[in-house]
Chains A and B, each alone.
Chain A
């Protein structure tokens, strides 16, 4: 196959994908649109986590906390009707960027394992913290918000509209990260991941870029959290337990670190594998879920994205 054909095949694939993604909400019943909206939400969150773990080599076991922050910021604003709902996306993103930046500064000094443990305890601390400020957050009862309806001119149902919102946010996020990785910042991050010392010697401002990676990463998690709040219409401390953070990291590693398609696979994994597990064994779905994680890691130590690349290479 010539280079030209490859390029053509890529374009064709992209068009098919775009067409499928655009047509899907008109084909599926509301339930599946809801499910796919959440896949997109998790994919965006994982995209952010990937920036941190996959590209800058910092492990976070507390990314659910940023996800929760974005969701809560959105829910609180919508519950009190402070701003129209599209604005909440911006607020959640900016807020999480700022908090992420603040976290990024001390995080710099913590290496692999230690950063993982500190972020894990942040995720654990989140729940009692949310309950403490009950007048704002609704306490342990949480907040129920009215899900945004489609504008009348679109003629869309609510589930379709929310799906398109999630899709739009996902597309923009993927485009942003792609551009980011191709820019100076991305090259610097990759250099840091490959060899920190060499990168520093070559004049990469290590501290600055790592902190920035943390902030971008938190921002994407926060944006995903905002869309999550629109789609689910309810937030409570029990929605964002430590389990969420760990599941996100597992989803990313299973999907594939350091690639653009990894977060998409991860989104599907996080969303569908738990429900598949209980179809297999209703008495103890955890047994199947745990086994599946282990088996996927055996078959694809570099994640599903890596497995696909490997399979493609075998076929050549």
Chain B
């Protein structure tokens, strides 16, 4: 598969990710995918840098918001909604479990 590096330099890459099922986002959607990727990288960096354990969890939440958005943007078909919601609910459930286990569990 060949592509141009932002239209300036001709650059040819053969890769296994060129599939006939998934088309690459084009035009405006690609800029929005890059915005979400930038926010994901920034929030992953903030998770690593933050010293307190419980304060890492809101940054992890921002990360999972952006990954859910990326999943939904890559697949503009109905099954994309299910994949995005499944990832988001799973990530939220996991954060909830981490926070409540750290706090000592549900006191009955």
- A and B bound? no
Q: Which residues of B contact A (CB under 8 A)?
A: none
